[in-house]
């Protein structure tokens, strides 16, 4: 799995709350607390199906949500 992109501030909240497949689709209580959002993805060479993993972090840097979405 590889870090594809990272977002902070308003962009992190927007992507965390957007519905799948355009965002992570986290519930409002997680999305509103998100200060940083990382998007990790599998590569074509990795075994198994392709996916993206969204990881949401709060102001203290603690992971508060993680969601796997199939595909890219």
Report pLDDT digits (tens) over 5-36: 999 999 999 999 999 988 999 999 999 999 99
Which residue is listed with tokens 């965390």?
Answer: 16
Residue 31 belongs to domain spanning? 2-70
Q: Are 53 and 70 in contact (CB under 8 A)?
A: no
Q: Name the residue with higher pLDDT: 16 or 69.
A: 16
Q: Specify the pTM.
A: 0.88
Q: Give how many domains the chain has, as a whole number.
A: 1
Identify whether the C-beta of residue 26 lies closer than 8 Å to the C-beta of residue 54: yes
Average pLDDT, the chain: 92
Confidence label for 39 from pLDDT (cuts 50, 70 and 90): very high
**Percent helix, strand and coil across the chain, each to the nearest 5:** 15, 40, 45
């Amino acid at each position: 799995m590889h870090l594809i992109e990272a977002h902070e501030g308003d962009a992190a909240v927007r992507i965390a709350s957007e519905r799948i497949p355009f965002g992570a689709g986290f519930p409002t209580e997680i999305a509103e607390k998100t200060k940083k959002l990382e998007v990790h993805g599998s590569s074509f060479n990795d075994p198994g199906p392709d996916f993206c993993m969204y990881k949401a972090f709060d102001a203290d840097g603690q992971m508060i949500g993680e969601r796997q979405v199939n595909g890219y």
